[in-house]
């Protein structure tokens, strides 16, 4: 069974640009969530999508957005990039069953550098 796949793995952007990151969850997983990891702030929850609907959102500005497609693949977008957006962006998928194990399966991440 293939794991969570994130693309691209590395990318470099300049301030003011926008970026789109992609995540393909494990087959059968309907929930995809995104986390930002930085040395200063640690791991912070961005948002979660389930069956194409955003059902939970972290405390990030509106420049951060996402969506989920009917095949459960998800994308996140960051517009008007700032230096502080440099981070490792992790995607995680889960079955998200009521009363389930709660285990999230993570991808290897997309390393974004903003110059």
Binding site for other proteins (CB under 8 A): 31, 33, 35, 42-43, 45, 48, 55-56, 58, 88, 90, 92, 94, 96-109
Quote the least distance from Cβ 80 to other proteins, whole Å: 26
- Give dist(CA 83, CA 66) in Å, integer: 20
Name which of 58 and 79 has its Cβ closer to other proteins: 58
- Contact (CB, 8 A) for 26 and 2: yes
Name which of 67 and 79 has its Cβ closer to other proteins: 67
Quote the least distance from Cβ 38 to other proteins, whole Å: 11
- Give dist(CA 89, CA 71) in Å, integer: 21
If you search the block for the tokens 């889960």, which residue do you land on? 94
In this structure, the chain runs to a length of: 115
């Amino acid at each position: 069974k293939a794991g969570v796949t994130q693309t691209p793995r590395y990318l470099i952007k300049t301030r003011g640009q926008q970026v789109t990151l992609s995540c393909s969850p494990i087959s059968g997983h309907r929930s995809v969530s995104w986390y930002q990891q930085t040395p200063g702030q640690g791991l912070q929850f961005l948002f979660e999508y389930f069956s194409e609907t955003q059902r939970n959102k972290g405390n990030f500005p509106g420049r951060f957005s996402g969506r989920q497609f009917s095949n459960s693949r998800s994308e996140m977008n960051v517009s008007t990039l700032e230096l502080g957006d440099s981070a490792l962006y992790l995607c995680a998928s889960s079955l998200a069953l009521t009363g389930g194990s709660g285990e999230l399966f993570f991808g290897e991440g997309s390393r974004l550098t903003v110059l």
